[in-house]
Amino acid sequence: MSDTATYTLTPELKAYVEERKSIPGSLIMVLHRVQEHFGFIPRQVAFEVADALDIPLAKVYGVITFYHFFKLKKPGKYKISVCLGTACYLKGGGDLLAELESKLGVGLNTVTDDGLFSVEAVRCVGCCGLAPVVTVNGSDVHGRLKKSDVQGIIDQYNALEAASRDA
Amino acid sequence: MAIKTYILVCGGTACQSSHGTELYDALRHELAAQGVENEAQVVRTGCFGFCEKGPIVKILPDETFYVCVKPEDAKEIVAEHVIKGRPVARLLYDASQSKANAKLEEIPFYQKQFRIVLRNCGVINPEKIEEYIARDGYAALAKALTEMTPEDIIEEVKKSGLRGRGGAGFPTWMKWNFTKQAAGEEKYIVCNADEGDPGAYMDRSTIEGDPHSILEAMAIAGRAVGANHGVIYIRAEYPLAIEHLETALKQAREYGLFGKNILGTGFDFDIELRLGAGAFVCGEETALLASAMGKRGMPIPRPPFPAVSGLWGKPTVINNVETWANIPVIILKGGEWFHKIGTEKSPGTKVFALTGKINNSGLIEVPMGITLREIVYDIGGGIRGGKKFKAVQTGGPSGGVITADYIDTPIDYEHLAELGSIMGSGGMIVMDEDDCMVDVARFYQEFCVDESCGKCAPCRIGTRTLLTLLEKIAKGNGEPRDIDKIKSVGRAMQKAALCGLGQTAPNPVLSTLRYFEDEYRAHIDERRCPAGKCKDLVRFVIDEAKCRGCTACARKCPVGAISGERQKPHVIDQNKCVKCGECFRTCRFGAISRQ
């Protein structure tokens, strides 16, 4: 699925940028708000942010690319994050990642052709008691997983998707 | 009718993920359905620490402690416990299998703990300032503002002997004193809540469970050094913690405990939140300040230290979450009281995130000087699955391992440094015989390569060089001289790197090499991984004598590498085998061995 949509700062985002403009060093806070809205930082919006904050575009991209949290590519509708913090790694987080990649047929940080799933590795989501952990869209936490649980998780979101299509 | 019973439900991230939210809703629903909503109340608290057995429920006033509670259990808890006053025995913690432990203090996991930092976690509702105040909250701020001079405050912190809990252990009072003495009208107080160490979540739980303690402490420091602005730099990955901080700030302002003219004393103090964006290097104070100012989080050489030139070039105190959480207690109970806890040189307690191959993983707070044995066996309940204890990693990517030989070492700053590890922020990862030290070192090095900001060559090139060498060894291509190379590159980095990240990045490799050189040698000289973790060095072989020809392994093998007739011994084609280990796990006759 190629991404042909055009992105631009919404009125709410514009208002937020305007509000932060007078507070020094607000670029990261603005980028957070942008990513919260779009799920990533679209190129066109990065241009607009640079303009609005009166910061050179190179500086804006310098910050975006420095931090792991900011994404330049649109993630899948269901963004699967595999925790590779130490506790999860020792308990088989790496195997979960490999299994997800093979079941979905995608590599790390890529999106399935239907745009539904993307897989990424994250460093410690802070649920080490539940290791190994996978989160979906940041908020759905699946803990104490085995390799054999991976298909079930994928099925769960496929079913959710089918249900929302039927509705 | 007055509320007689309080049902505390853990609202920590781990418990919430194990259907804690549904449990909370179910309990509230049941109270209403059974008509006792005026007699009992459900309270969502911070983390109890016993994440292994979550979700946790505690009933007050009788202090009954329930573990692994499911939403379906809500009905029984309300019907039996709340209405009839009979504890639900099957939900109690039962360590000995003989007698159920009803109360928190009776559970071995809690017996050796001593809670200062986590004093309110699992006790109060973190979203209600009234509950914090009821537990002496903001009394320390009132005392600091009305009864103490700034010098008194610093003197009290000095007497306590409190050292920075972020890892390096620098005396807190000295940081404050430098900032106080620095020239300038405008000064800043910063809280480092950018918990980047993979495998650690102490700060997250502290903020989620007791956000006001951080705010109060920062205001006290503001009074001590003459600062009116605070900044909390927190990971964007911790949404619940951010939400609780925002709520807490709003409530504190409404109560006149924050903002202008606090408690009518003429002292102004307020705090702004700044979000991190996933860069481990931002735990380093100069990098953190750069990031808080909206820039790339790259460190700068010190001096000048932040105490002289920090946020916006102004004198700045930076302490981490756990350090801050100690402050109100020190002010209220006095530095001398605090100094009696722990050891002479490392007073107080330390919070650890105990994780890995341990029976009771969770968040623990223990007095300094406790031995590793007490933590692993008494609190942690020993190694999972009866395996053999191999080592504990402390200090994350900047630390090292402590082996079984040193399990009776008291845990404090000095002893850990002697062993070649560091206290770090509090990640404590337990490893058993199945964990390969070369693999662990490679894991941490990969992390450091990702997280190196690239500013200085020793870190940028050094981490990459070390990773390449470790990967070579893990693949079975290592040469004897690689070990010397690792040592010399590592030592150069320790001396020459710009900031703490680069200087400590070789620690996990050097530390594992120090205690497990034989394991490295086995990879290099014998092309063998003793723990069986390094896939390239492992072979799965079927023992003809034991194989019954059940075909289970052949059906499970994802690449069709196993062949053989039914009821006859099977064989694995080593050229096709991808070493996933499925056959090994599938075989019910123990016929497949890992070599």
Taking only the tens place, the pLDDT of each residue in A28-79 is 999 999 999 999 999 999 999 999 999 999 999 999 999 999 999 999 999 9
- Chain B residues whose CB is inside 8 A of the A122 CB are 237
Neighbours of A145 (CB within 10 A): 24
Quick check: is A5 in a domain?
no
Mark out the alpha helices in B348-499 (DSSP H runs).
Answer: 372-373, 413-418, 437-451, 457-474, 481-496
Separation CA A50–CA A58 (nearest Å)? 9
Q: What is the mean pLDDT of chain A?
A: 91
Question: Per-residue confidence at B156, pLDDT binned at 50, 70, 90?
Answer: very high
User: Are A91 and A143 contained in the same domain?
Assistant: yes
Encode pLDDT of B24-40 as tens digits: 999 999 999 999 999 99
Question: Per-residue confidence at B94, pLDDT binned at 50, 70, 90?
Answer: confident
Which of A19, A44, A66 is where one domain is finished?
A66
Decide if B429 and A90 are in contact by the 8 Å CB cutoff: yes
The closest alpha carbon to B392, from B349, B347, B361, belongs to: B361
Decide if B443 and A89 are in contact by the 8 Å CB cutoff: yes
Alpha carbon of B469: minimum distance to chain A alpha carbons (Å)? 21
Give the pLDDT score at A1. Answer: 44
Alpha carbon of A108: minimum distance to chain B alpha carbons (Å)? 15
Q: What is the mean pLDDT of chain B?
A: 93
- Chain B residues whose CB is inside 8 A of the A68 CB are 277-279, 450
Select the more confidently predicted residue: B32 or B2: B32
User: Are A95 and A147 contained in the same domain?
Assistant: yes
- Global ipTM: 0.91
A31 at the B interface (CB within 8 A)? Answer: yes
Separation CA B363–CA B355 (nearest Å)? 9
Separation CA B595–CA B14 (nearest Å)? 37
Give the pLDDT score at A4. Answer: 60
Give the pLDDT score at A159. Answer: 94
Encode pLDDT of B280-308 as tens digits: 999 999 999 999 999 999 999 999 999 99
User: Are A86 and A135 contained in the same domain?
Assistant: yes
Q: Which residues contact B555 (CB under 8 A, 6 or more apart)?
A: none
Q: Which of A23, A31, A66 to mutate to test the interface with B (most CBs of B within 10 A)?
A: A66
Quick check: is A2 in a domain?
no
- The 3-state secondary structure of B12-45 reads CHHHHHHHHHHHHHHHHHHHHHCCCCCCEEEEEE
Q: Which of B186, B201, B229 to mutate to test the interface with A (most CBs of A within 10 A)?
A: B201
Decide if A131 and B355 are in contact by the 8 Å CB cutoff: yes
Q: What percentage of chain B has pLDDT greater than the value 70? A: 98
Between β-strands B259-262 and B316-320, what pairing exists: parallel, antiparallel or unpaired? Answer: unpaired
Question: Per-residue confidence at B101, pLDDT binned at 50, 70, 90?
Answer: low
Separation CA B172–CA A56 (nearest Å)? 39
pTM: 0.92
Quick check: is A142 in a domain?
yes
What is the mean pLDDT of the segment spanning A89-114?
A: 92
Alpha carbon of A122: minimum distance to chain B alpha carbons (Å)? 9
The closest alpha carbon to A130, from B279, B418, B115, B18, belongs to: B18
Neighbours of A114 (CB within 10 A): 11
User: Are A97 and A152 contained in the same domain?
Assistant: yes
User: Are A27 and A107 contained in the same domain?
Assistant: no
The CATH number linked to A144 is 3.40.30.10
Alpha carbon of B274: minimum distance to chain A alpha carbons (Å)? 7
B355 closest CB neighbour out of A62, A129, A143: A129
What is the mean pLDDT of the segment spanning B59-85?
A: 92
- Chain B residues whose CB is inside 8 A of the A36 CB are none
User: Are A119 and A157 contained in the same domain?
Assistant: yes
Quick check: is A50 in a domain?
yes
User: Are A131 and A162 contained in the same domain?
Assistant: yes
Say which range, B10-14, B174-178, B297-301, B501-505, has the weakest mean pLDDT.
B10-14
User: Are A50 and A82 contained in the same domain?
Assistant: no
User: Are A89 and A19 contained in the same domain?
Assistant: no
Give the pLDDT score at A2. Answer: 47
Number of folded domains in chain A?
A: 2
- Chain B residues whose CB is inside 8 A of the A123 CB are 196, 198, 278, 280, 447
Range of the domain at A156: 78-166
- Chain A residues whose CB is inside 8 A of the B236 CB are 32, 69
Question: Per-residue confidence at B558, pLDDT binned at 50, 70, 90?
Answer: confident
- Chain B residues whose CB is inside 8 A of the A91 CB are 356-357
Q: Taking CA atoms, what residue in B is nearest to A99?
A: B580
Domains contained in chain B, CATH given: 5-108 (3.40.30.10), 129-339 (3.40.50.11540), 349-432 (3.10.20.600), 437-525 (1.20.1440.230), 539-594 (3.30.70.20)
Quick check: is A130 in a domain?
yes
A50 at the B interface (CB within 8 A)? Answer: no
Quick check: is A106 in a domain?
yes
Q: Cβ distance B283 to B440 under 8 Å? A: no
Q: Taking CA atoms, what residue in B is nearest to A135?
A: B17
User: Are A156 and A99 contained in the same domain?
Assistant: yes
Neighbours of B37 (CB within 10 A): 17
Quick check: is A6 in a domain?
no
Give the pLDDT score at B149. Answer: 97
Q: Cβ distance B160 to B198 under 8 Å? A: no
Q: What is the dihedral of CA A59, A65, A68, A70, to 10 degrees?
A: 70
The closest alpha carbon to B144, from B271, B317, B265, B245, belongs to: B265
Instruction: Give, in order, the Cα–Cα distances in Å from B54 to each of B69, B229, B244.
Output: 7, 38, 21
The closest alpha carbon to B538, from B455, B397, B438, belongs to: B438
Q: Taking 60 as the threshold, does the pLDDT of residue B97 lie above it?
A: no
Quick check: is A52 in a domain?
yes
User: Are A86 and A48 contained in the same domain?
Assistant: no
- Chain B residues whose CB is inside 8 A of the A127 CB are 13-14, 17, 51, 201
User: Are A92 and A154 contained in the same domain?
Assistant: yes
